[in-house]
Structure 1
Amino acid sequence: MSLTTKTLGRGRRVAAGSLIAVAALGLTACKGGPDAASRPSSAAAPVTSQDTERGNGAQSAGGSAQSSAAKPQSSANGQRPSAPAKAASPGGKPTAKSPSAAQSQASAMTASDRCNAADMSLRLGRSDIGAGNIRYPLVFTNKGKKACTLRGYPGVSLIKRDGSAVGKPATREGGSGPVVRLQPGQSAHALLHTLNDGVSDTPCWDRSQLVFVYPPGSKESMTTGSDGLRVCGGRFDVTAVEAGALG
């Protein structure tokens, strides 16, 4: 083979190699584009607004789950469980502050120790007239078998035999007085007070036949003859009970 032939074959191989290299570079440029070398990798890519919204949604979902876990669970019918019931007394009612045993005992003793209408007698004593005033003792006597107590004002009205009222009930005069303890057979009294006829221009009431009385602290009534007691001057008072009998 001649030298010319060898040189020509070597030139063709070099040219072919150059063409292959140029073709490879062209393919690389088509795939990556002109900015492929300068574009940052996906690992270092910045977080987009869409990614942020997704992240917030995930956090909200997590917060809702935590809130749901913190809230009390609803019952099957959709209602929340009711609050624990208050402690109840043995009778089924909520426990309330009740009086002490000492207070209850004192109240019971006071009620049982009071003089009842059924255990007493009642009478109107002789009148005491002086300086334009008239006073009548209203006497209570313990006819029971045990001691009892009275304290305060009796309720007093005047009535006729047919039961019709005369005037108005007596008003209270003076202080409430001490506790009066009556042994069987002992008496206490309150004073009824009015004015003499002519002392005042206020007309006198009709004459009464009966005195209608509620003993102090009692809801049971008693009656006794009024001996024609007549209220004048519009004045009709009663005092609290005191120990002893007058008239």
Structure 2
Amino acid sequence: MAYTFPSRHRTAALASAGALAVLGLLSACGNGGDTVSAPQKVPGAAAPATGDATNGDTSPGAPPGTSTPAGDTTAASDGSNGSAPSAHTSGTRAATRGTSASSTRCHTSELRATVGPNDPGAGQENFPVVLTNVSGRTCTVRGYPGAAFVDASGKQLGPDPKRSPGSPSTVTLEPHESAWAGLSFANPQVSEARAATPATLVVTPPDERDPLRVRWTAGPVPVGGNASSVYVTVLRPGTGP
């Protein structure tokens, strides 16, 4: 039986049907809500809030144990309030209370740092580093503060404190309320570590870049040698243990 070639009309019809099928597949991939957009660059979640650069008081002229944020000349060791800085709302970190952490986070300009009295024990020196909300709004702190001892010229003495193991939690501070972190080290006379007497303790609130400065009046601290480590704990509600 001889093979019969398809007619011209039949060949054209088959070609047209194939083309329509290809177009249909392309249309299904490109429409109907399945369009793939270009990748988006997501900013780092831990970046400090923008537009909140404050210049801390670089001189150790604040009253002993009290920080002086920029523009605040009425710092009091009891954490009493001055004027209320404006709130900042930029950033993307999620807060545990269901709102943006950056909109509730306490900024450096809204806090005052103080160092509480020593609570020594078994050759160990233990100081509460207290952050007090001096703004007119409720804000939060979470985690470890930064800390460093510096001399009168601003040179750091010894390495940064190490972080003691702990579970950070969000501490909500209404105006005038405080959170504290422990700062501990072995007494240099007991540990025989190399020691120096700082002029200032520099404290940086969590997730902030601008520091607070507190005059250090508690004597020598270890800066090298055996048992020279200084430790800092997570922030907790209150002003001390």
TM over 0.5: yes
Which protein, 1 or 2, shows the higher relative CO under an 8 Å CA cutoff with sep ≥ 6?
A: 2
3-state SS, counterpart of residue 130 of structure 1: coil
Instruction: Give the structure 1 partner of residue 62 of structure 2.
Output: none
Instruction: Give the structure 1 partner of residue 212 of structure 2.
Output: 222
Structure with greater proportional helix content: 1
Cα deviations by residue, 1:106-130 (Å, 9 ceiling, x for unpaired) = 343x322222211111122222222
CA spacing shift, 1:238–1:95, aligned 2, 3 Å: closer
Matched, 1:68 2:58: no
TM-score by length of 1: 0.57
Q: For 1:187 and 1:178, how far apart are their aligned partners in 2?
A: 14
How many Å apart are 1:190 and its aligned residue? 0.8
Q: For 1:190 and 1:135, how far apart are their aligned partners in 2?
A: 10
What letter matches 2:230 in structure 1?
F
Q: For 2:172 and 2:188, how far apart are their aligned partners in 1?
A: 37
Matched, 1:106 2:98: yes
Percent identity, please: 25
Specify the structure having the higher radius of gyration (Cα). Answer: 1
Instruction: Give the structure 2 partner of residue 84 of structure 1.
Output: 30
CA contact (8 A) 1:209 1:229 kept: no
CA contact (8 A) 2:128 2:181 kept: yes
CA spacing shift, 1:169–1:106, aligned 2, 3 Å: same
TM-score by length of 2: 0.58
Q: How many residues are treated as equivalent by the alignment?
A: 177
For structure 2, which runs of at least 5 residues remain unmatched after alignment?
21-25, 41-93
CA spacing shift, 1:61–1:236, aligned 2, 3 Å: farther
How many Å apart are 1:188 and its aligned residue? 2.0
3-state SS, counterpart of residue 72 of structure 1: helix
For structure 1, which runs of at least 5 residues remain unmatched after alignment?
1-46, 74-80, 97-102
Cα deviations by residue, 1:37-86 (Å, 9 ceiling, x for unpaired) = xxxxxxxxxx6xxxx4xx35x2498886455223337xxxxxxx896368
CA contact (8 A) 1:156 1:212 kept: yes
Q: For 2:189 and 2:170, how far apart are their aligned partners in 1?
A: 37
CA spacing shift, 1:181–1:61, aligned 2, 3 Å: same
